[in-house]
Chains A and B, each alone.
Chain A
Amino acid sequence: MTASPKYLLYIAMLVALVLAPLGQGNYIVYVLCSWLIFSVAAMGLNLTLGYAGQVSLAQAAFMGIGAYITALMTMAGYHWLLAMPFAILSCFGIGLILGYPALRVQHHFLAFVTLAFNTLVFLVLRNEEWLTGGSFGLVPIPRPDFFGFSTFKQVPFYYFALVCFLLAAGAMAWIVRSPWGRAFKALRENPIRANSLGLNTRLMTLLAFAIGSGFAGLAGAMMAPLVQFIEPGSFTLIHSLKILLMVVVGGSGFYYGPFLGAAIVVLLPELLRFTEGYYLIIYAAFVLVLMVFSPNGLIGLWQKLMDRFRTQQVERSDLKDGAQL
């Protein structure tokens, strides 16, 4: 069997991911872990935004729901493996309930409903002190043990997060390639044609949104044991916007877009530390310019550049409209 360059590339990426934390300080490993976590959240949003074409502004709220459920259950003594599916399913269910009314109407109403939802979730997390600890948050959230493999130290935790990430990425690859995923794409490219081919467009969009929210639940379930302390301020609207920008900057609708976008959003502040408070200004200006020149994000920009250099067939311009006499 000959290994095609594509598989070699996959293996190289995997090796790079496995080797990344070795010999690094605790802080770098922490940053890498949060990159993995935000990649999972952004991947989910990419399904909603890039494949189904709907804007969700509540990804951070779903992460918050996942994180709080995980924190409360693991602090009550249940194992993380039990809490995690619970977090995902809750987010999936809430996504269905929230998306159903919003997707009855068009014009990006989901964006507004999710905007309102994110603020509501923040209010509940802050005000219901008996459950969520209010603005003091929940502490200390235990890190899980797997049959003697303790994730208490930073590097083992990275490998635990990496396994979750790879499982999520695999699930996403499967969803995107399955008939479902193709239906999502059809929906984005031409909703009227998709509808006329017998796709239940509303149901498909709703499912895309709910599955995307479920991914955010997983990201939240990974985040709670990483930071070991969660408070409502980590799940506000600005964080949802951050995840949205990850997807868009990387390239929405591209499978690898969210990974790239999350890397930029999570790692760039470290690189641009010398700019101090101006970091967000630079970043926002960069997104504006990127949107004006390449609405498909960095991957779209890359493809545009490659198309310019790659040899390509050019139609004879005199025959463009068919042979005319």
Chain B
Amino acid sequence: MSEFIQIIVSGLSAGSIYALAAVGFTLLWQASQTINFAQGEFVMLPAFFVLGAMGLGAPMWLAIAVALGLSVLLLGAAFKKLIVEPMLPHGTLPLIIATIALGLLMKESVKEFYSAQGQPFPPIFPTEVVRVFGAAISVADIMNLAVSFAAILTLQLFLQRTRTGRCMQATAQNRGVAEILGVNVKRMVMYTFLINAALAAIASILITPIYLAKFSNGETLGLVAFIAAIVGGFNQIRGALVGGLLIGVIDNLSAFYVSSEYRAAAPLILLIVIIMVRPQGIMGTSEGRTV
């Protein structure tokens, strides 16, 4: 039983971080129909910003702030301006290819210019363990869960309670009408990209202490973010949250109870099952088909 609790808690902790990446993914989809195949690399890169800043002698908190700023600037603003904007008129397909190429570019650049080996990443939270009902639960897990939830809650409040947030929602729901009503659609889409970059940076800083900082981290993370977003519901923020938590727990359960060799298969099978029985996702509402 205590083992079970441990697995669930660490699964939820990892899942909440996946959820951050998945939420960003759904936001981009809603705002500009961008399927970002580089999302995994977006989560991989900020950890290297932190390491780079610390390598220059900055303390941890400053390094994190720098990484957050750089991510918003590069992965948010520059990504939107230089890549997404010129390609949107050509439809979704070239953009998908471009994000695949971008992911490859980021991965290979980190490998060549930083290091091909996994880099140790300093823990942000104390590595102590507390005992709850006989289960050993690490403080870091609980803090990860808390930070991710705080980030998603803040985002939700921002989207629902502020004027800008509502304008963003209007843009996501119906671009044309939002524009007619005087919403600055372009700026709202830009905000979405900035938020996605910030979420990816937070996820990166939370998840990298668990693994090592490595150029290939994005492969698994990106896949998990897609799966979480689709399983939960592609057009709902709370869907991505549920999807992320579910994937985290299932991943951990299958690693412990089924086989660690096929650990990576469980989320994939879940994805295929969900697409077959409930293509709009667990929490999603179905969108009209184009054909």
Contact = CB atoms under 8 A, between A and B. Distances in A.
Interface of A: 49, 53, 55, 101-102, 104-109, 111-113, 115-117, 119-120, 123, 126-127, 191-192, 195, 201, 237, 241, 244-245, 248, 277-278, 280-281, 283-285, 287-288, 291-292, 295
Query: Which one of B35, B87, B104 has the greatest number of beta carbons of chain A within 10 Å?
Result: B104
16 contacts: A55-B93, A102-B275, A109-B230, A111-B35, A111-B96, A116-B227, A119-B223, A120-B268, A120-B269, A123-B264, A192-B291, A277-B108, A284-B102, A284-B105, A292-B82, A292-B87
B90, B108, B269: most-surrounded residue (chain A CB, <10 A):
B108
A105 B271 CA distance: 14
B58 interface: no
B291 A106 contact: yes
B128 interface: no
Contacts of B255: none
B86 interface: yes
B151 interface: no
Most buried by A among B83, B87, B93, B272: B93
A278 B269 CA distance: 36
A211 B226 CA distance: 27
A320 to B, nearest CB: 21
Most chain B CB within 10 A, of A49, A53, A295, is at A295
B161 interface: no
A281 B262 CA distance: 32
Contact of A113 (B90, B223, B275): B275
B183 interface: no
Nearest to A205: B291
B101 interface: yes
Nearest to A276: B112
Given A102-B275, A280-B108, A287 B98 contact: yes
B100 A241 contact: yes
A49 B108 CA distance: 26
Interface of B: 35, 82-83, 86-87, 90-98, 100-102, 104-105, 108-109, 111-112, 219, 223, 226-227, 230, 234, 261-262, 264-265, 268-269, 271-272, 275-276, 279-280, 287, 289-291
Nearest to B230: A112
Contacts of B101: 245, 284-285, 287-288, 291
Contacts of A127: 261-262
B230 A237 contact: no
Contacts of A245: 97, 100-101
Contacts of A281: 105, 108-109, 112
A295 to B, nearest CB: 4
Q: Which of A102, A108, A288, A291 has the most CB of B within 10 A?
A: A291
Contacts, number: 115
A295 B94 contact: yes
Contacts of A115: 223, 226
A292 B275 contact: no
A284 B108 contact: yes
Contacts of B86: 292
B261 A123 contact: yes
Contact of A123 (B111, B265, B276): B265
Contact of A107 (B104, B234, B271, B272): B234
B97 A116 contact: no
A244 B97 contact: yes
Given A237-B219, A284-B104, A292-B87, A123 B262 contact: yes
A111 B271 CA distance: 12
A291 B97 contact: yes
Nearest to B106: A284
B272 A116 contact: yes
B30 to A, nearest CB: 12
B178 to A, nearest CB: 21
Contacts of A192: 290-291
A106 to B, nearest CB: 5
A292 B86 CA distance: 6
Contact of A108 (B35, B105, B262): B35
A25 to B, nearest CB: 29
Contacts of B265: 119-120, 123
Contacts of A292: 82-83, 86-87, 98
Given A115-B226, A192-B291, 18 more contacts: A101-B275, A108-B35, A109-B275, A112-B271, A113-B271, A116-B227, A123-B264, A244-B100, A248-B94, A277-B111, A278-B112, A280-B108, A281-B112, A291-B98, A292-B98, A295-B90, A295-B91, A295-B94
A126 B230 CA distance: 27
